[in-house]
């Protein structure tokens, strides 16, 4: 069996000398924080846009129905904005890439729509405020992407080595 005082199930007692101290927590770059603020501003404008859209496109909608639909839009919009903001604030690069892909698809559909200018004119002829809000939201989307892809944001979203994982070596 074993000698007195020796426990075969005890963890190894060897010292590890090549482990680095944990890195200090990184602070979020200002561009990412501003990007999250732009995301929330755009979410607020989306709520205004949806309310205006319902009022101008479905003017006979009863007030309780209007309020219910707007509440659903608000809850969904706030929920999605919160989820996206939390993931961006935690440095999740996949969320940044997902936003990029979604916005590129939106820009592609916008270019298709703009090629048919008559549709755009009919869509916004009776509600120019909808067109203005759409344009403002597009600008905010572009600003958001620009803020999330600055050099400091790129470095911050870059994957970090896991705790205890050696950063040097082969």
In a domain, 57, yes or no: yes
- Taking only the tens place, the pLDDT of each residue in 10-44 is 887 777 666 665 554 578 999 999 999 999 999 99
DSSP states of the chain: ---TT--TTSPP-----SPPPPPPPPPPPHHHHHHHHHHHHHHHHHHHHHHHHHHHH-TT--HHHHHHHHHHHHHHHHHHHHHHHHHHHTT-HHHHHHHHHHHHHHHHHHHHHHHSHHHHHHHHSS-HHHHHHHHHHHHHHHHHHHHHTSHHHHHHHS--PPTT--SS--
User: What's the domain range around 141?
Assistant: 30-154
In a domain, 1, yes or no: no
pLDDT band at residue 54 using 50, 70 and 90 as cut-offs: confident
In a domain, 25, yes or no: no
In a domain, 99, yes or no: yes
In a domain, 69, yes or no: yes
In a domain, 24, yes or no: no
pTM, to two decimals? 0.72
Query: Domain total for the chain?
Result: 1
Read off the tokens for 121.
């004119």
In a domain, 144, yes or no: yes
In a domain, 170, yes or no: no
Please give the Cα distance from 153 to 28 (Å, whole number): 8
């Amino acid at each position: 069996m074993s000698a007195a005082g020796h426990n075969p199930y005890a963890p190894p007692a060897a010292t590890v000398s090549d482990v680095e101290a944990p890195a200090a927590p990184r602070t979020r770059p200002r561009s990412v924080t501003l990007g999250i603020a732009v995301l929330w501003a755009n979410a607020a404008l989306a709520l205004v846009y949806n309310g205006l859209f319902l009022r101008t496109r479905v003017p006979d909608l009863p007030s309780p129905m209007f309020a219910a639909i707007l509440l659903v839009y608000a809850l969904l919009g706030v929920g999605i904005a919160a989820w996206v903001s939390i993931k961006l604030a935690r440095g999740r690069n996949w969320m940044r890439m997902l936003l990029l892909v979604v916005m590129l698809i939106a820009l592609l559909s916008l270019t298709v729509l703009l090629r048919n200018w008559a549709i755009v004119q009919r869509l916004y002829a009776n509600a120019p405020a909808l067109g203005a809000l759409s344009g403002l939201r597009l600008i905010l989307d572009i600003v958001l992407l620009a803020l999330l892809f600055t050099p400091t944001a790129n470095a911050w979203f870059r994957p970090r080595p896991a705790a205890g994982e050696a950063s040097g070596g082969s």
